[in-house]
Structure formats: structure tokens, C-alpha cells
Structure 1
Amino acid sequence: MPQTLDAAAVRTWCSLALEALGRERAEIDAINVYPVADGDTGTNLYLTVESAAQAVEAVFAAHETGSSAPSPADVVRAMAHGALIGARGNSGTILAQLLRGMAERLGDGDHLAGALHRAAALAREAVAHPVEGTILTVAGAAAQAAGASPQDAVRAAYEGARVALDATPGQLAVLERAGVVDAGGRGLLMVLGALVEAVTGEAPPVAPVLAHVRHGLGDPGPESCADGGPAFEVIYLLEADDAAVARLRTRLDGLGDSLVVVGGDGLWNVHVHVDDAGAAVEAGVEAGRPYRIRITHFDSAAVSRQPEPVQRAVVVVVPGEGLAALCAEAGATTVLARPGEPPASGELVDAIRRAHAREVVLMPNSAELRHTAAAAAEQARTEGVRVALIPTRAAVQGIAALAVHEPDRRFDEDVVAMTAAAGATRYAELAVAERQSWTTAGVCQAGDVLGLIDGDVAVIGADLAATAEAVLDRMLAAGGELVTLVLGEDVPDGDTVADRLERYVRDGYLAVDTMVYRGGRGSTPLLVGVE
């Protein structure tokens, strides 16, 4: 039996783990009572593994046009990095660190037993105050069993984890009172089962998740409820050095509990439960650059009953924090997309669930996200939500569609009106070239400003404002009534650029109005829409 993983096996492992967690997600959510009984552990683990699988597929896609294949080290590191940037919740964050530990050893050619040992040790180090009877206990037992049977490490690890999982109610009182095993540990067992199948070709027998409920779901007790602990869960990615992260750990440990900080090499995923969410984010700002910030309020009433769903909601993907705020003010549920880090379908499904509506209009605002959004819409439909996908290709099309959204009219009529508004909006994007390359407008050099109209490079210039004027001339040659400009946070003299472009449109096109928005952090230098 192989005692290490090749690239294909890692890919298969990701796929099987995602399939297993997707199949059992709801049941794992149902037994989630620790550290907070908010019923989302299965979902968080699924979203974490989905991000890992997406990163692995990206590595394989990069080799499709060539004769080479990705190395096992590249693939396993991509898996760990994808999990890190997509980690959700307490258990998802710990799983990301487990995968990072495995990647460290497997990437260096170590055997599975050594990789599992490193994974368990690294995950325990990442948790400020480790508690027995949790995913950490299950991971440690898997590593210990693998080390005792190195020739059959993967099967031994699975069996060790299964035995440890069954023992978790005796280690953690809140689990014993509720009559369940640890939800995070149960999810890890699914991931290890997928590893067994990827290595051996045979899936281990797995009891249904709810078979681990010993006496039915009971009262988890006050110490697991939101009323007995911090009010908020705060998660963010952080770019910072090791020394700054060490100081951050100390500060966050004094603010709350369930502190987990995972990662390394300048990129970290921070998870903590606090009463003062603002202070937790401010601590991140002092340490480095936090982004993808998620703040969730622990409402104990929401654990036991869901609010009455609204009739209709809009879910929109946006490329900047300023646009997210703008769309949220208009009543939309937003998903933030960063350059090079598109949201996975699970994140879109999660946003649809958060919208808590019977009818949802979904706008991906990116041609690359169309298939991802379609998969999310199909998943939401299986859960009883009526979803209409408007295939917007740019944020300015989404803004135009949101402007005509009327929740009081019939769903089909609203979708038609929003689709028509999006389709009537031409879009452009101004970006800075990173290297010399051929484009549809000629050869560009690194540092040139590229004006892309409807996705194709149409103008190459040296100055943002001048290039934007050339783009506007081309777009307005076919007519237009409204120009929308969205400026990124990093545009030098942004107000000056906005004033210049507004004046240019006003002086050259008398019947055309102009609207200016701030895209905020994460947005491209300039987005242009013409309706």
C-alpha cells in the first residue's frame, strides 16, 4: 500500500472529501453543540474543503495545455492554501491547519504517518486553549494510530479517529448532555475516510452521522449557548509577519475565546469569538492587513428557530468593499470577491441561505463566475428556494439591475426588468498591465493602462484618466444616457480623476448623466458602465 500521495491521489482525496461532506453536511450541522450551538459545523467544513478542491483543480488546469503534470508537492500545497483562504468557522479553521501540516511533510516526500503527526501537532499549536473531546483529540488519535502502524497508516489513522470520536462525549460535558459526539471530529472522520478511499480504492464503512446521537438531541446546556459566551464570531484573512501575529494572539486572547490563528509565510486565517467585534478587527489592522472579514452575531434564538423568510432577495457578487456597502444599502446580500480569489459555489449558496428568502435573484457580476453561480443556484433550488440567475458580467451591470429591482412586482417581471437593465449596460474596466504581452489593441508593456471594453482590450495608454477618456469616447459613440464610474481605493488623486471624467462627459456629451461610486478596498482601478 502506498504510504505517500501522488498528485492524482490528492486530487481524488479532495473530490471524495467534498462529496462526503456535502452528503452529510446537514447531519453534521444537526449535532453541532460546541463551542457554540449554532448548527453550522458541517457547512463550514464543506466550504473549507470546497475552497481546497477549487485550488487543486486550478493547479491541474494550469497544466492542461502543456506536456507536464503538476507535482505532488504543488498539489498538496495548493490544497492547504485553498483551505486556508476559504476556512470557515472554528472547525474549518482547524482543518485548514491540519492540511497545512500534512502539506509540509508530504511536500517534502514524508510518509503519511509523519504527515498526520505533523498535522495534529500544528493544529494543536494554533488553538489558544485546546480542549479535549474535540476535533483536536480526533486528529491526535489518528496520528498516534498511524504512527503505530506505519505500513497501513491510512487505515490505522481512520480507525484511531473513529474510536476517539466515539469517546468524545465522555471528555466534554456539553456533548454528553446533548447525547452527541463532536461535530468537528465527525467531519474530520469524513475527510479521513475520503483519504482511505483515495489511497486504497476502498471506502471504509461509515455509520450515518446521526447514528452517533446516543440518546437523541438533548439540551446542550447553558455553557454552549450564545447567551453564556461572546456575542460575535470574527474571522478574517491577515497579511502580517510572525512577530505581529504573536502580539495579535495575545491581544485577541484577552478579548474573547475560541481563538484559532492558522497559516504562516505572511498569510494567516484568524478566528475568534468576542463581544467587541470592532476591537478584534482593529487588532488585525494593527498587526497587518486584514481582509475577507466576516462577523457573525450569535443569536441564541436563531439556533432554535429561523425567522420567517422574506418573499424576495437579491444576492450579488461585488469586487470591492465600497460596492458591497452600496449594494447592501440597496437591500442586497453581498459576497465579496478579491482579484485572483473568486468565491466558490458554496459561498454563494451560503449567501442565498443568509438572504433567507423564498425567491432569490443571483448576479455573479463576472463571466468567469457564471458556471459557479449556476451550480449554486441549482443547489439552492434543491433546498426549496426559487432562484433566478441573471448572468451579469461586471459590477456596473449589477448596479444597473439593482436600480430597477422592485420586490413588490411579480418575480418573473422583476427578473425580466433587471435582466434588461443589465443587458443594456455596456461595461469597461481599466487595469494596469503586469508584464509585456500581446493584446487585441497591440503590444502592451508592464505598467501600461489597459482599457478593456466588454472584456477585450480596446485602448492602451500611459495615464489612467486619459485612457478612461478614450474608453468613454468609444463606448459613447453608440449612444448612452448614463455613465457609471466606480473608482478603486488605490487610484492616485481619485477625486481629481473623478472630477476630470465627470467634466469630460458633461462637456462632450450634453445629454449624458454621470454617477460616481467608490469601489473601496479590493476593487480594480476603474470600472465604467454606459446605459
Structure 2
Amino acid sequence: MTTQKLDTSVRAIRHWLARSVKSLGNHSDRLNAINVFPVADGDTGSNLYLTARAGHDAVSKLESDDIGGFLEVAARAAMESARGNSGTLLAVFLSGLSEPWQGQERLTAPLLALGLERAKVRSWSALSEPVEGTMLSVINALALAAASTLMHLKVDKDSRAALDTLLTQMTQAARLAVKGTESTLPSLVKAGVVDAGAVGMLVIVDELCAAIRNERTEFDDYEGFHGYSVQDPHVHFDFEEIEGVEVMCTVTLDALGAATLRGQLDALGNSVIMSPVNQLEEDTYRWRVHVHVEDPEAALDLIRQQGNPVNISVTDLCIHDG
């Protein structure tokens, strides 16, 4: 390909978000079917799609030349409407990616590498107990590949050729990370599948690269991932009965309140994710909170001790049929 085709403006970011929504919708049934971690509730594909759509819709009519500011608006909307573990991590990823891009009109290889590194730090720190073999592994691989590629580039780092090289290395690293999930988590090994969230993140990465390159996205090689060519791999796995609920909300907290709440939720449940949505004052942020618990009222009581939760959702953790 010719690197002159690359689109590095807000237009590319807009196209990326739109394409991600479409492709996540197309892949949602398969992603749901292989969703066995952290709980086999068969909704990773749906959660990623709905979260991405919320981000896209927020900027569908937004006019801006600032790639970071544009993506920040999408990320904030995605965070406020995030669904599940995977949707929340997607929103955190977008938010982290946008931070070093603030005030920039064009995406370059160094800016992309900085964004991926920030997205990695934000994503890993959002979880109380981050786990390898998930979306986090793909995000980590992206950041490492970008940093390593940038370090060894023989061309001008701000050139289109440099960005094109970075995109190629990112997609290769992401695919290796997805394949790695096949043998990382015992539940995935037993089910004979790759991690659903990891594949979902690969869809998003592939669409980013394709949007910048003005190319079609190819998904044929996804058939090589364990379980992804099977319509209902749930039949390969004996699922235990799932009890409990997923509680999500947004709450305004200072640093002490956030740290206190995280510790309390860690003691009460699991799959705790807390990430700032936006800053209100010097030490106060709006936080998006996610936790799996047996009793939703117990979790909400702890949250209310620290602040006033809004945008509350309580979802049963149950196995779906598709």
C-alpha cells in the first residue's frame, strides 16, 4: 500500500468508531458464545457493542479538529453507559488513548504509542485484580509493540511510513496476544476457546488500522482462533450455576473516598473496576464503578456511604443461551 493514503485526522477517528460499532455488532453472537471468563454469562459481544455504540453516538454530529478532544467525548459517553467488564475496559481504553492526543489535529506514530501506553496503564490500574489472558493482554501487547517499533524505526518517526509500520506491528502483536489466551486461563483451556474480550479488542484494533489506512477490514483469520468457528462452544463446557449480580453506577468521589470504596468492594465481591470518568475539582472525579456481588443492596449501601450513585444498573449473572 502507499502510505500517502493514510488518514490521520478526526475523520479517521470518526470512521473508526462507526466501523467498530458495525463490526462488533456483526461479531457479537460469536463473542457471546465463547464468553466464559470472568463468568460464563454470554454477553461480552453485546456489552462491547452497546458500549461502543454509546461512544459513537455521542460524537456522531460533533465537529472538531482535535483528535484527542473528539475521542475524549466518545470515551466519556462510553464510560457512562458501559456494559459489563468488557464494556467498562473498552471505555477505559478509549479514555486513556485520548489523553496524549489532546489538542492534536493529526495522529503520528509517537502519539499513537503514547496513547497506547496511557491506555495500558489506565486499564490495568482500573481493576483491583487484573488478569492475564484477557483484554488486558491485548492492550499490553499493543503498547509494548508500539514502543518497541518506535524505538527501532529507521524512518522519520513523525512520517506516514512510521505510522504505517506501527499499525502493522500492532495488529500482529494483538493477534499473538489473542492466541495466547487459549492456554492462559484454565476456564478457557477447558472450554477450548480464546477469550471473548480479547477477540473483541482485536476487532477494535483492526478497525482502527483499517480506518486510518482507508481499507476494508479482513476477519478471515479469526476462524483460526480456538472455538471461534463453532457457533455454540458452550456445549464443550460444563458450567457451574452462577449466583449473584453485576452492579454498576457512577459516583462522585475524592481520592480518599475512591480508595476506601475500592477496598470495601474488594472485600464484599469481585471483578471490581473503578475508573475516573472526568475531573470535577482538583481532587474530585466522577467514577464509574463495576462489581460482582451476591447482594446488590450491600454494594449500593457501601457506595452511598461515600457518595450519591447515579446511572445505576443491576444485572443478574446468569448463563444466556447465545
TM-score by length of 1: 0.52
Aligned residue for 1:272, secondary structure, equals: strand
Aligned partners of 2:24 and 2:203 also within 8 Å: yes
Task: Describe the shift of the 1:238–1:207 C-alpha distance in structure 2 as closer, same or farther (beyond 3 A).
Answer: farther
Verify: 1:22 aligned to 2:21, yes or no.
no
Aligned partners of 1:117 and 1:143 also within 8 Å: yes
Give 1:182 deviation, angstroms: 0.4
Deviations 1:462-509 (Å, cap 9, x if unpaired)?
xxxxxxxxxxxxxxxxxxxxxxxxxxxxxxxxxxxxxxxxxxxxxxxx
Q: Separation in 2 of the partners of 1:203 and 1:253?
A: 43
Q: Which residue of 1 aligns with 2:157?
A: none
Aligned partners of 1:4 and 1:106 also within 8 Å: no
Q: Which residue of 2 aligns with 1:134?
A: 134
Aligned residue for 1:262, secondary structure, equals: strand
Moved more, 46-55 or 204-213: 204-213
Q: Separation in 2 of the partners of 1:226 and 1:296?
A: 16
Verify: 1:303 aligned to 2:316, yes or no.
no
State which of 143, 155, 167 in structure 2 corresponds to 1:154: 167
Task: Describe the shift of the 1:286–1:209 C-alpha distance in structure 2 as closer, same or farther (beyond 3 A).
Answer: farther
- The alignment yields a C-alpha RMSD, in angstroms, of 2.2
Aligned partners of 1:36 and 1:226 also within 8 Å: no
Q: Which residue of 2 aligns with 1:283?
A: 302
Verify: 1:78 aligned to 2:108, yes or no.
no
Aligned partners of 2:248 and 2:312 also within 8 Å: yes
AA at the equivalent of 1:161: A
Higher helix share: 2
Q: Which residue of 1 aligns with 2:98?
A: 103
Aligned partners of 1:174 and 1:221 also within 8 Å: no
State which of 254, 264, 279 in structure 2 corresponds to 1:251: 264
Q: Separation in 1 of the partners of 2:147 and 2:177?
A: 15
Matches within 5 A, 1:261-276: 261-264=274-277, 265=279, 266-276=285-295
Give 1:220 deviation, angstroms: 3.7
Matches within 5 A, 1:485-524: none
Q: Which residue of 2 aligns with 1:353?
A: none
Deviations 1:60-98 (Å, cap 9, x if unpaired)?
3xxxxxxxx442232111121121111100011011111
Give 1:107 deviation, angstroms: 1.5
TM-score by length of 2: 0.84
Aligned partners of 1:59 and 1:70 also within 8 Å: no
Aligned residue for 1:181, secondary structure, equals: coil
Q: Which residue of 1 aligns with 2:56?
A: 53
- The one of the two structures with greater contact order (alpha-carbon pairs below 8 A, sep at least 6) is 2
Count of residue pairs the alignment pairs up? 291
- Rg (Cα) greater in structure: 1
Aligned residue for 2:274, secondary structure, equals: strand
Q: Separation in 1 of the partners of 2:238 and 2:272?
A: 22
Higher strand share: 1
Q: Separation in 2 of the partners of 1:168 and 1:111?
A: 28
Q: Separation in 2 of the partners of 1:166 and 1:186?
A: 9
Structure 1 unmatched runs, 5+: 61-68, 306-531
Task: Describe the shift of the 1:5–1:101 C-alpha distance in structure 2 as closer, same or farther (beyond 3 A).
Answer: farther
Give 1:297 deviation, angstroms: 1.5
Give 1:130 deviation, angstroms: 0.9
